[in-house]
Structure 1
Amino acid sequence: MSGSRGEAAMTTEHRLAHSAFTLTRDFPVSVERVWRAFAEEDQKRKWLGDADTFERGEWRFDFRVGGRDVDEAQFHGGPRSRYEAVYTDIVEPVRIVTTYDMWLDGIHMSTSVASFEFEEIAGGTRLTHVEHGVFFDQFWEDGPNREEGSRGILESLAAHLA
């Protein structure tokens, strides 16, 4: 190849990386209360992102098997993030399984499978979040950031449930 097309092809690096993690968090409230935080739109919107650290974009919530969620936001002074999920399994109030894709400033960064298991324990609920992700191209090193972001989301949930 000659010219800029060959050069552009050489500078584009296509990579994949895989990342998996498990997070477990105990909440001092009933399984039903934690479940509702995921299953009811007004509750989920409160803990998942009606904050002043970003400007909300598109939001869709369709909590049923085959339903789609969309959550898009522009971080102040930062990138636009877009989450699109499909619910693949829901067993009330036992588990939720989704597949989801993430974009950052319009670039597809990852595809993941995530599960949430709700277990009654003495004094409350144990939530177990397991996630397996595939990260694309320039985002191939982003797996640890996803785990850290998921920890932050569980912190938001804990504050909402308190």
Structure 2
Amino acid sequence: MTVERRVAHAGFTLTRDYPAPIERVWLAFADESQRRAWFGDGDTFDRREWRFDFRVGGRDVDEAQFHGGPRSRYEGVYTDIVEHSRIVTTYDMWLDGIHMSTSVASFEFDRIAAGTRLTHVEHGVFFDQFRADAAAREEGMRGLLEALGQHLGPG
């Protein structure tokens, strides 16, 4: 089978309001145990590798084998962190060892009367046979933001 060597570009913005103070939402990203609770743990996969280094230039790795499914690998680098304000990362994804995408993503934290507004903006380049996966990436991020909301609780 010959793989067509092409790329697709895609971007999306997701905004979510959480009934929690900005400091609590920030900690869910900045504290390793909290980050792992909503981003990296679960019973649908077996963890293979986890690294967390929350600082500018720091690198995160999350690799897992889904039960009955593919092996996914995330490698991210923090390019900008302003406490309680924003986090910017670049990250790469692999599926069963094949490089599927490179993205730049930002998370912006804003105080609102009801708690915290989180805005996530992402721009990705999807490679070869993964060119149609942009919609799945957005759906996956929606799921992660939902998991974050569950982690933060009702307020």
Normalising by structure 2, we get a TM-score of 0.97
Distance 2:51 2:37 in 1: 14
Q: Render the CA deviation track for 1:94-153: whole Å, top value 9, x for unaligned.
A: 000000000000000000000000000002000000000000000001000000000000
Distance 1:87 1:48 in 2: 16
Matches within 5 A, 1:12-161: 12-161=3-152
In the alignment of these two chains, the number of paired residues is 153
Distance 1:153 1:50 in 2: 11
Distance 1:23 1:85 in 2: 19
- Identity fraction in percent: 76
Distance 2:42 2:125 in 1: 28
Displacement of 1:49: 2.5
Report the secondary structure of 1:157's partner residue. helix
Which of these two proteins has the greater Rg computed from alpha carbons? 1
Structure 2 counterpart of 1:16, which letter? V
Distance 1:83 1:12 in 2: 23
Aligned counterpart, 1:5: none
Distance 1:160 1:101 in 2: 25
Q: Render the CA deviation track for 1:54-84: whole Å, top value 9, x for unaligned.
A: 1111000000000000000110000000000
Runs of at least 5 residues in structure 2 that lack an aligned partner in the other structure: none
Normalising by structure 1, we get a TM-score of 0.93
Report the secondary structure of 1:153's partner residue. helix
Distance 2:147 2:55 in 1: 23
Distance 1:108 1:141 in 2: 14
Q: CA RMSD of the aligned region, Å?
A: 0.7
Distance 2:47 2:141 in 1: 19
Distance 1:90 1:128 in 2: 15
